[in-house]
Amino acid sequence: MTLREKQDEFLSDMEMFDTWADRFNYLISLAEKLPAEFPQHLLPFRIEGCQSKTCFKAYLNGNILFAEGWSNSAVMGGIIVAIMKIFNWMECREIQDTEIDFHIKSGLIDNLTPMRRAALEEIIRRITVLLK
């Protein structure tokens, strides 16, 4: 599956719901896939300025991107799971050649609190910095 297809799949998932309350409940349900306990190895990758305890690490294995994260905020946890579904196992070149816009096209970025919005932007920045 291409990065465009994975982003479009996220958009389709979000469009299944009529209200933002339902969309946030969907994200909260995704967060259940994260470990219950904080993974200590992620502590150095904390998102600064985030009110919740949120960590995110993106790294390369060869030219393949992998991401992992955790949050004690269910909404941020769901966002992290969605990002891992979108970006894990993607080749660097494909990420470089594809606009990252799932958060804009879905309206997610415009419906987050300022702190969550900043955290999402930081997570995307951590992915794109690896590719330079």
pLDDT band at 125 (very low <50, low <70, confident <90, very high): very high
Residue 106 three-state SS: coil
Q: How confident is the model at residue 131 (pLDDT cuts 50, 70, 90)?
A: confident
Average pLDDT over residues 103-132: 95
pLDDT band at 107 (very low <50, low <70, confident <90, very high): very high
Confidence at residue 129, expressed as pLDDT on a 0 to 100 scale = 93
Task: Give per-residue pLDDT as tens, 13-57.
Answer: 999 999 999 999 999 999 999 999 999 999 999 998 778 899 999
Structural domain count of the chain = 1
Using only C-alpha atoms, the chain has a radius of gyration, in whole angstroms, of: 14
Q: Which domain holds residue 45?
A: 3-130
CA dihedral sign, ordered 124, 125, 127, 132: positive
Check: CB of residue 71 under 8 Å from CB of residue 77: yes
CATH code of 105's domain: 3.90.1010.10
Q: So what's the pLDDT on residue 92?
A: 95
Tens of pLDDT, residues 65-95: 999 999 999 999 999 999 999 999 999 999 9
- Rounded CA-CA distance 122/58 in Å is 11
Q: What are phi and psi of 126, to 5 degrees?
A: -60, -30
pTM listed for this prediction:
0.95
